[in-house]
A and B are shown apart, each in its own frame.
Chain A
Amino acid sequence: MGLRLTVSDIWKTYNGDAVLKGCSFPFDSSGIYVLMGPNGCGKSTFLRICCLLEEYDKGEINYFLDNNMLEKDIGLRRRISLVLPKIGVFNTTVYKNVEYGLKIRGMTGKETEEKVDRALDFVGLYHKKKHNALTLSSGEIQRLGIARAFVIEPEMLFLDEPTASIDQKNTEIIEDIILKMKREGRSIVVITTHDKSQAEKLADRILIMKNGSIIDTNS
């Protein structure tokens, strides 16, 4: 059994306003989970908390591997990844942007090069590998974000609004990339979106965030 995540009764407050009010959900099987909800309902906060990038006020986040609970350390953080809505492009080439995750893990050489090339090919940016990443269009930047996360082969990948600010053509390209990941079926992918039709197209399970809690539409 691969990496699993159990979220139990998570509360998060900003300036006295509770954004998450006891969110609980077990991400316990590979596939695509789509989290839907209106702007400001706490989807992004939930993802950042799941990704161990943000503190929470109350509750528990636990990752398990083969029924053993994992320490929340850098080792665990390197098993998971989050693609932010604004991905944060590094001011260097497309290739080096994608190579970043491998480099900080101490990986270099031919194998790294092959992995980066494969990730770039996967998102359709191989032909732009030598371009400065800041010259890419917004749709390409979003694909770059996915390639950066994809190359490190996370066991759990979180995509926060991956198609929120891009055109229809790039939205379709990204949806295809996500479906390709689904077919490979190696990891758990959690996506947030507003788009109901996109959720239905991609999801194995659709979750709704309402009043600071998660509702599983399958239950």
Chain B
Amino acid sequence: MEYIIGAFIKAFSLIFNLDQELIAIIILSFKVSGGALIIATFAGLPMGAMTGLKRFRGRGIIISILNTFMGLPPVVVGLFVYLILSRSGPLGFMALLYSPTAMIIAQCILAFPIVASLCHSAIISVDPIIKQASMALGATPLQVTATIVKEARYGIISGIMAALGRVMAEVGAILIVGGNIAGYTRVMTTTIALETDKGNFELALALGIILLTISLIINSALHLIQKKGMVEANRWV
């Protein structure tokens, strides 16, 4: 028990002393997950909007695939990206394996279906009368789409936050494609796994505490957004 308490004390000391290694790992984690989330949002939001607003052949299949891929196992994504980026893979010539870029690609694949699928759900839940109302006021098709997306904003933000939660806590994919190289591809989750293996609990615990805090902040924000959306929805008369 004593060594656990000792590890906690050292972990808090690392956090409060702003340990350089710790800070570097946190910054890289945000860069990788943030980058992946931005790309996934730019790709996922139009996809969600398209499946939510347009009727076209194959729409149902796309929605089913997106819903299925929301639960993609990270290690499978890691394996897939590894095969693509490995020296003998189709994109091996780009030499991206074991780089932050490879980690961003892997996390992007994990985040994209979450963003797209939850954006789709948010958009289809907007009252269809909004479309008619904006058209009746003289909106162009693009302005109608923008209006509907704006009305779905709380659901869309929830989807983006959920994707952020997923990629921040993910370890399987980035461990495979990033290689956990100190100072280059070592992020919070992979460091926790490595340091625990080595029996070096201080840094692992410090990162665990920070990761939990981030997760708590994301979930609290998600809860607040959903609550705000629900309160406003209940005001409909």
B139 close to chain A: CB less than 8 A: yes
Residues of A86-102 contacting chain B, CB below 8 A? 86-91, 100-101
Residues of B127-148 contacting chain A, CB below 8 A? 127, 129-130, 132-140, 143, 147
Contact indicator per residue, chain B 157-192, by CB within 8 Å of chain A (1) or not (0):
000000000000000000000000000000000000
Residues of A105-138 contacting chain B, CB below 8 A? 105, 132, 134-138
A83 contacts which chain B residues (CB < 8 A)?
A: 136
Select A81's contact among B127, B138, B140, B237, beta carbons within 8 Å.
B138
- Known contacts A88-B127, A90-B151: does B136 contact A152 (CB below 8 Å)? no
Contact indicator per residue, chain A 71-92, by CB within 8 Å of chain B (1) or not (0):
0001001100111101111110
How far does the Cβ of A78 sit from chain B's closest Cβ, in whole Å? 4
A135 contacts which chain B residues (CB < 8 A)?
A: 235
A1 close to chain B: CB less than 8 A: no
A65 close to chain B: CB less than 8 A: no
Contact count band on B = 20 to 34
Select A152's contact among B133, B138, B140, B237, beta carbons within 8 Å.
B138
- Within the assembled complex, what's the spacing in Å between the Cα atoms of A138 and B130? 16
- Within the assembled complex, what's the spacing in Å between the Cα atoms of A33 and B140? 28
How far does the Cβ of B231 sit from chain A's closest Cβ, in whole Å? 9
Q: Number of A interface residues, CB 8 Å?
A: 30
B232 close to chain A: CB less than 8 A: yes
B151:A91 contact, CB within 8 angstroms: yes
Chain B residue at smallest Cβ distance from A149: B137
B93 close to chain A: CB less than 8 A: no
- Within the assembled complex, what's the spacing in Å between the Cα atoms of A90 and B139? 14
B130:A90 contact, CB within 8 angstroms: yes
- Within the assembled complex, what's the spacing in Å between the Cα atoms of A139 and B89? 65
How far does the Cβ of B79 sit from chain A's closest Cβ, in whole Å? 43
B16 close to chain A: CB less than 8 A: no
- Within the assembled complex, what's the spacing in Å between the Cα atoms of A95 and B179? 54
A100:B136 contact, CB within 8 angstroms: no
Chain B residue at smallest Cβ distance from A79: B138
B129:A86 contact, CB within 8 angstroms: yes
How far does the Cβ of B137 sit from chain A's closest Cβ, in whole Å? 4
Select A87's contact among B133, B147, B150, B151, beta carbons within 8 Å.
B133
Residues of A58-80 contacting chain B, CB below 8 A? 74, 77-78
B143:A134 contact, CB within 8 angstroms: no
B236 contacts which chain A residues (CB < 8 A)?
A: 89, 134
- Between A83, A100, A141, A149, the greatest number of chain B beta carbons within 10 A of the residue's beta carbon is seen for A100
B138:A88 contact, CB within 8 angstroms: no
List B residues at the A interface (Cβ < 8 Å).
127, 129-130, 132-140, 143, 147, 150-151, 232, 235-237
List A residues at the B interface (Cβ < 8 Å).
48, 51, 53, 74, 77-78, 81-84, 86-91, 100-101, 104-105, 132, 134-138, 141, 148-149, 152
Instruction: Supply 9 further A-B pairs (C-beta < 8 A) apart from A51-B136, A82-B136.
Output: A88-B132, A90-B150, A101-B138, A104-B137, A132-B232, A134-B232, A134-B236, A148-B137, A149-B137
For the complex of A and B, the 7 pairs showing the least CB-CB separation, nearest first, are A88-B133, A78-B138, A134-B235, A88-B129, A82-B136, A101-B137, A88-B130
